[in-house]
A = this chain, B = another copy of it.
Amino acid sequence: MSSSADELARRAAEAMWSGDHATQGLGMELVNVAQGFAEITMPVRQEMVNGHGICHGGFIFTLADSAFAFACNSRNQMTVAAGARIDFIKSAKEGDVLTARARVVHQGKRTGVYDAQVVNQAQEVIAEFRGNSATIGGQLVDESAS
């Protein structure tokens, strides 16, 4: 993978991130992005936990889904999630800092398969996620721009 491909991935990610109320509002931070890869962190806040002090699985999915979105859009081809499966391995609790790392498993012309693993600050696996992407046409940034 060339560095220009990774540079394009970074530019596409910046375009996606700006104006993204959802990821920003949840306190996510985009740590790393490259072609076919993205890494995002999210702290487990009080408003993410249920009555047992455990992080709602929906927020864990949302973190993984965000990493998946940045990874599958990293080629600068507009791509959406068609579906996804998550397996919950271990619960997360308030104060944990979760990291999702998404990577391409297979990318075809229009559809792709991506995996994301969610771990906590002790690198314990919290969830395993597999998403199906669909390329819908269009680009995120102008590739001819310098």
Contacts and interface: CB of A to CB of B under 8 A. Distances in A.
**Interface majority SS (helix, strand, loop, mixed), chain A:** mixed
B62 A47 contact: no
A62 B22 CA distance: 13
Nearest to A105: B128
Interface residues of A, number: 46
Contact of A22 (B16, B59, B61, B66): B59
A71 interface: no
Given A88-B83, A130-B85, A49 B22 contact: yes
B58 A82 contact: no
Contacts of A55: 22
Given A20-B51, A22-B47, A85 B88 contact: no
A83 B85 contact: yes
Interface string A11-43: 000011111111101000000000000000000
